[in-house]
Amino acid sequence: MRDYIIKRLFQMIPTIIVITLVVFAMMQAIPGDPIISLLGDAYDEEDAEKLRGEYGLNKPIYVQYFRWVSKLMRGDWGESILSGRSILNDVLIRLPVTIELIIVAMIVALIIAIPAGIIAAIRQNTWGDYTAMSTAMIGISIPDFFLGVLLLLLFSISMNGFLPSSGWVYLPGTCPSVVCEASWWGNFKHVVMPAIALGVGRAAILTRLLRASMLEIIRMEYVTTARAKGLGERLVILKHALKNALIPTVTIMGLQIGFLIGGAIVVETLFAIPGLGTYGINAIIARDYQQVQGFILLVAISFVVLNFLVDLVYSFLDPRIRYN
């Protein structure tokens, strides 16, 4: 087990190095001049040239790359050229919001998927199954931003602002700044629609997966205990099936986080939530290269680490699975 961990850690390192190269290369490939964004309507060619020199933007690419990476290794994610602010700071301010959104979306997904998957598996090929599966099919097919628009229409516009159409209220005690609104109810009102928009798609996938895993296990169990008598036996099989089906389901859930992060970008934009997604999009639109670089690198590395952790959990659980 320890060897496996070490082996995987070693595998991660070249991946991360290549990721930094790829991210840096992509930034260089994006057309545009950050100094133009910096100076804006006050743009003057002379000043621009001087600033380019100051920020080291006219140095050869590999020099710029090494400076960036060496700063990273010292824990310095650098500053935005446009705002002068520390990228790490700004990311940390926004991270909790996105994390909350993703967690609530996952909870929504599980609340929907677990009962639906169980019912569909138990009542296979009956109305319950078909309903659950059709709903899941719809859930997979509807883009999360369109679902968001529908929810907006239903709960915000039609009901005259019952649920707010945008913005954010923080959870009490998590205020990132001196002045902010914080309340439990306010936070709930702001997070519920985007979380549902994000979570439904995941719920659909998880439902199908849970159903399929449970069916596979049930079938096998049923075959080996073909002469099971009475309700008691079936219940035991079902509980056993559920427990074992949850393992791959939870594992997949971990991997779905990638889609959740991507979906969060779009949903945050729709609902104007001050999270990491809008931070990234704003940075990209403003061509704030330092911010985009830092943001993408952070997301990619977290993703790699997350996958690694999920793999660990999975391989840890693996010996206990008696199939295959």
Footprint of another protein on 167-226 (CB under 8 A): 167, 176-179, 205, 208-209, 212, 216
Class of residue 168 by CB neighbours under 10 A (exposed 0-12, middle 13-18, buried 19+) = buried
Q: Does 1 bind another protein (CB under 8 A)?
A: no
Alpha-carbon distance 273 to 243, whole Å?
A: 36
By beta-carbon proximity to another protein, the closer residue of 11 and 225 is 11
Q: Give the binding range for another protein (CB under 8 A) out of 63-71, 184-192, 221-229, 292-300.
A: 292-300
Could you give the string, one character per residue 26-65, with x where binding to another protein holds by CB under 8 A and - elsewhere?
x--xxxxx--xxxxxxxxxxxxx-xx--------------
Alpha helices in the chain (DSSP H): 2-29, 34-39, 45-54, 61-73, 87-122, 127-141, 144-151, 184-224, 230-271, 276-285, 289-317
Query: What is the residue whose two structure tokens read 């659980």?
Result: 317
The piece of 1-9, 18-26, 109-117, 192-200 that touches another protein (CB under 8 A) is 18-26
Could you tell me which residues come within 8 angstroms of residue 75 by beta carbon, excluding any fewer than 6 positions away? none
Q: How far apart are CA 299 and CA 297, in angstroms?
A: 5
The phi, psi pair for 170, rounded to 5°, reads: -80, 160
Closer Cβ to another protein, 71 or 85, answer by number: 85
Residues counted in the chain: 324
- Work out how close the CB of 103 gets to another protein at its nearest, in angstroms, rounded to a whole number: 17
Q: How far is the CB of 84 from another protein (least distance, A)?
A: 3
Rounded to whole angstroms, the Cα distance separating 209 from 227 reads 28
Closest approach, Cβ 166 to another protein, in A, equals: 4
The smaller minimum CB distance to another protein, of residues 26 and 235, is found at 26
Nearer to another protein, 5 or 310 (CB): 310
Check: CB of residue 304 under 8 Å from CB of residue 317.
no
Residues 95-134 that bind another protein (CB under 8 A): none
Q: Which residue has the tokens 């798609």?
A: 201
- The footprint of another protein on residues 76-95 (CB under 8 A) is 79-80, 82-86, 90, 93
Q: How far is the CB of 225 from another protein (least distance, A)?
A: 19
Q: Are 293 and 68 in contact (CB under 8 A)?
A: yes
At closest approach, how far in Å is the CB of 90 from another protein? 7
CB nearer to another protein: pick between 195 and 256:
256
| Cβ count within 10 A of residue 164 | 18
